[in-house]
Amino acid sequence: MTARRRESGGDIPNAPEISMLNQNLVASLLRRTRPHSPATSMAGMALLAIVSPALFGVRPSVAQADRFANVVVEATDLGSGLYLLSGAGGNLGLSIGPDGTFLIDDQFAPLNDKIKAAIARLTDQPVRFVVNTHWHGDHTGGNEKFGEAGAVIVAHDNVRRRMSVDSFSKAFNDSTPASPHAALPVITFAESVVFHLNGQEINVRHTPPAHTDGDAVIHFRPANVIHVGDLFFNGMYPFVDVESGGSIDGYVTVIDAILPMIDDNTRIIPGHGAIATKAEFKAFRDVLADVSQAVKALVADKKSKDEVIAAKPTAKWDAKWGNGFMKPDQFVGLVYDSVTGAQ
């Protein structure tokens, strides 16, 4: 593995319905989440849809652990020793082979045993590296246990920075405590890092702010597979985490930079939703660009946030994109915050 920093800015890059399992899981978590508890978590995409205070925390409590009891971690073979693992939370990417096990994101701590078991069915090698696509707890919740087990955790500088401190989300009226030491990335990068493992050149590249200000995409060039984290919610409106430096226009800019890097045969692992094609990623981008433009027009017309939401600028997209994680009004509210600079 080699790591390098660069001075210049980096360039860069439809979901199945939320399963009933996830909906139940999320509902259960919400009921059990206490304000200012370290036990909050982003458990499934329906969380926001329901209300969602408790989105980004990292560590569900012991009491919540049983809420994950029925989650099944499934592996999808992508060839070349690569797999998509899905359970509850962000999609995982996995590379196995003679050089060691490389994991992208790790969902929630209570799923750690299941994730390890799913990996153990594919390889007898422990996880050597974990790369986080961004700091949210449904992607980093397993860091602590993997770190304690000896994995080297790698992420963008801002992932470690945000995980290192207590934080509060006004959007969801929810606090997230600082992560324990073992959960923090031990190697961070400003722009990019390249792993040379298992016959793959694995390019990990920071993008301009979009979902958060610490996003990274992981491109397995020889295998023509790319994990884009929460830069892509396949088939649903994304959560634009404006409070973590995210931006709706950043999404469009970043996707426009990624699209030329991939082709019609590329398998795209989204942060949430089913594995996708370039055309599906482009469709997602076009929705975001359209909604951003519509909201900007309303803002230019001096509409208030409530008036913008009431104008339903997403109406023509809602039947297809508004039934998942983010409901239309919530999404429009965040787009408004993004385009006006409000938080």
User: Which residues bind to Zn ion, rule: CB under 5 A?
Assistant: 136, 230
Q: Which contacts of 313-317 are long-range, i.e. CB under 8 A and separated by 24 or more positions?
A: 314/237, 317/287, 317/290, 317/291
d(CA 1, CA 194): 7
d(CA 231, CA 209): 10
Q: Closest distance between Zn ion and the C-beta of residue 55, in Å?
A: 9
Q: Closest distance between Zn ion and the C-beta of residue 211, in Å?
A: 6
Q: Closest distance between Zn ion and the C-beta of residue 301, in Å?
A: 31
Q: Closest distance between Zn ion and the C-beta of residue 198, in Å?
A: 27
Give 250's Cβ-side CA count (13 Å radius): 25
Q: Is the Cβ of residue 216 or residue 275 nearer to Zn ion in the bound state?
A: 216
d(CA 78, CA 267): 8
Question: Which residue is it, tokens 């001096």?
Answer: 302
d(CA 106, CA 86): 10
Q: Is the Cβ of residue 45 or residue 184 nearer to Zn ion in the bound state?
A: 45
SS (H, E, C) 159-175: HHHHHCCCEEECCCCEE
d(CA 155, CA 230): 14
Q: Is the Cβ of residue 230 or residue 280 nearer to Zn ion in the bound state?
A: 230
Q: Closest distance between Zn ion and the C-beta of residue 230, in Å?
A: 4
Q: Closest distance between Zn ion and the C-beta of residue 154, in Å?
A: 17
Residue 54 Cα distances to 27, 37, 164, 206, angstroms: 11, 9, 18, 26
Q: Closest distance between Zn ion and the C-beta of residue 134, in Å?
A: 6
Q: Is the Cβ of residue 68 or residue 239 nearer to Zn ion in the bound state?
A: 239
| Calculated CA dihedral for residues 59, 61, 66, 70, nearest 10 degrees | -10
Q: Is the Cβ of residue 218 or residue 294 nearer to Zn ion in the bound state?
A: 218
Burial environment of residue 315 by CB neighbours within 10 A (0 to 12, 13 to 18, 19 or more): exposed
Q: Is the Cβ of residue 93 or residue 313 nearer to Zn ion in the bound state?
A: 93
Q: Is the Cβ of residue 106 or residue 230 nearer to Zn ion in the bound state?
A: 230
Kindly give the residue spans of alpha helices, DSSP state H, lying in 10-133.
20-32, 46-50, 62-65, 112-120
